[in-house]
Amino acid sequence: MEPGFQCCYCSYKNVAVMISRNTIRYCCPIEEVPTKDNVRVSLDIGITFHIGHDDRLEEDGKKFFYNFGPNRLEELLQEESDEAIRDFCRNIRVNKIRDVKSELTTEILNNLKKKFEIYGVVIEQVSIIKVIVPRDLRQALMFATNYDVYLQKQVKH
């Protein structure tokens, strides 16, 4: 060994798990969500998260791996976001569902942050990627709007 170089091996420590600190984007499609007027819509939700806070990374990593794990994380993310979306949409009419995106994402973000913090998971962002209204309702609304425009033009002439 060269002078000044020290080598030490701790036999009681080994690598049990490696957890990525990268930000992860989880896409969560939610189908057939009933609105206040009982129209079934579908939503695609994106959740951005990472494991561990900067100041307590090792502690959060242990919480995540030994008490939770990646498979359970996926299940709970799906269940919690599904439940939050369904609860929120039950109070909104279908014609307002696209207008409340920021309100909905803020509410879901706050709920998910509280629920996942104890497991060492940091939820950074929740976004609604897509809202899908049933095709027959979209077409009926489009025809009704076009007919209203047609009638308004007839009254002006």
> Measured between alpha carbons, how far is 27 from 155 in angstroms, rounded to an integer?
48
pLDDT number for residue 151: 61
Residue 24, strand partner residues: 49
pLDDT number for residue 147: 56
Tens of pLDDT, residue by residue over 54-77, are 777 778 777 787 777 777 888 888
CATH class of 24-156: alpha beta
Task: Specify the DSSP class assigned to residue 33.
Answer: E
Find all residues with CB under 8 Å of 31, minimum gap 6, and list them. Answer: 42
pLDDT number for residue 1: 46
> Measured between alpha carbons, how far is 26 from 87 in angstroms, rounded to an integer?
21
Which of 127, 130, 132, 131 lies closest to 26 in space, CA to CA? 127
DSSP 41-103: EEEEEEEEEEES-GGGHHHHHHHHHHHT-HHHHHHHHHHHHHHHHHHHHTTS-GGGTTTTHHH
Residue ranges in the chain modelled with pLDDT below 50: 1-2, 4-8
> Measured between alpha carbons, how far is 101 from 128 in angstroms, rounded to an integer?
7
